[in-house]
Every structure is written in C-alpha cells, then in structure tokens.
Amino acid sequence: MHASPSKAELRALALAKRDALSDEQRATAAEALAKRGAPFEIAQGMIVSGYAPIRSELDPAPLMKKLADKGARLALPCINARGQSLTFRSWSPQDRLMLGPLGIPEPSPAAAEVHPDVMLVPLAAFDKLGHRIGYGAGYYDYTFAHLRKAKHVIGVGLAFAAQETRAIPALSHDVPLDFVLTERKTFDFRSS
C-alpha cells in the first residue's frame, strides 16, 4: 500500500505545474476566467476582495475589473500577524500599493477598512470537494472562520486547471471553498 501524499508534497507538485506555465499561458488563463465572470450575482456595492498576485499565482485583476464594472467595490487583504485574521482595505486599480510585512503588495493603512462579501483567494492546489492548499500559514482558513462568525463570506479560489489534485487531506480547521474558478471550468462546491 502507498501512503497518500502529504500536503507539503501536494503543494510542491501543484506549484511546480503552476510555475511551468508560460507568461502567455498565465495571461490567457486570467482573461478566459474573467470573460466567464463570477458564477453568482454581483449586487451593487458588494465588496469583493482579491489579492496582489505573487510568484506564479493567477492574476485576479481582469476578473476584479469586470466585477467592479458590474458594481462591486474592490478590496485587498493586509497581513497582520500569523494566527490573526487578514484585514481588508478598499482598493481600486489606479491605487498605489505598498509592500506589507511579508513583501506582498497591500493598500495603504490610510485606505478604509472593509468587510468582504466575497473573497477571491490564491491557492497552490485544490480538489473536487473544495479543499485548498495554500502556502501553509493558514491566513485564509483563519480569516474565513473569523469572518463567517458574522456573515457568510463567499470563498472563491482562483487557479489554473493544472493545480487540481485528486484529494487533499483536510484537517478540522481547513475551511472549504464555495467555488474554484479556472481558465477551463467553474467548480461549485456549495452542495458538496
């Protein structure tokens, strides 16, 4: 019998596949995903949090611009400390960003703090049950758990199709996503 791969092994495999994509493949995927749009209604004034892509993450900017055109207000996360919920600040595509504590671009601390209705999240890998593997710090799991005490926040993973894996070993603190959007398909996990 073979042992199931660990999260670290699944993360490494998925990131290698993601890193192997060309810049052109990444840009084409981001545009294809944006063209398809969100698989749910965007209400006027709904707050959608995206992220500033790092490494070889799928760029959410084309989708975020499309959602803003439909009336969404945009936000980006700011990292506080490990084990704490992310803070979200208003953002628009023309705003300048500054480097946060982990070197990830974030809005200025002067930008208004907001509470998202939808969180677009990066990931290393995902499975057909909506489980995701991030980079291991648990920021998004902790944030979903914290925010969902007050209201349901729609969790939408953005990924390349190559990042899908058969099964992710989920732990009790892992929060499944509602959707994953890839350049090829929309996965809806709400009835899973």
Sheet with 179-181: strands ordered across: 113-114, 87-90, 73-78, 47-49, 118-121, 154-158, 179-181, 186-188
Torsion angle, alpha carbons of 32, 38, 44, 48, to 10: -90
Q: What is the mean pLDDT of residues 57-67?
A: 97
Does 140 appear as a known binding residue?
Answer: yes
Q: Is the pLDDT of residue 130 over 90?
A: yes
Q: What is the mean pLDDT of residues 76-103?
A: 92
Does 8 appear as a known binding residue?
Answer: yes
Does 7 appear as a known binding residue?
Answer: yes
Does 137 appear as a known binding residue?
Answer: yes
Q: Mind listing the domains of the chain with CATH numbers?
A: 7-188 (3.40.50.10420)
The predicted pLDDT at position 57 comes to 96
Q: What is the DSSP letter of 164?
A: B
Does 57 appear as a known binding residue?
Answer: yes
Does 37 appear as a known binding residue?
Answer: no
Coil vs helix vs strand at 124: coil
Does 96 appear as a known binding residue?
Answer: no
Does 55 appear as a known binding residue?
Answer: no
Q: Is the pLDDT of residue 191 over 90?
A: no
Does 36 appear as a known binding residue?
Answer: no
Give the percent of the chain with pLDDT over 70: 98
Does 138 appear as a known binding residue?
Answer: yes
pLDDT-based confidence at residue 135 (cuts at 50, 70, 90):
confident
The predicted pLDDT at position 175 comes to 85
pLDDT-based confidence at residue 2 (cuts at 50, 70, 90):
low
Does 106 appear as a known binding residue?
Answer: no
Q: Is the pLDDT of residue 51 over 80?
A: yes
Per DSSP, which regions of 42-153 are E strands? Answer: 47-49, 73-78, 87-90, 98-99, 105-106, 113-114, 118-121, 125-126, 132-133
List pLDDT tens digits, range 152-166: 999 999 999 999 999
Q: What is the mean pLDDT of residues 158-187?
A: 92
Q: What is the mean pLDDT of residues 25-51?
A: 96
Does 113 appear as a known binding residue?
Answer: no
Cross-strand partners of 180: 157, 187
Tell me which of 63-67, 73-77, 135-139, 184-188 is least confident.
Answer: 135-139
pLDDT-based confidence at residue 136 (cuts at 50, 70, 90):
confident
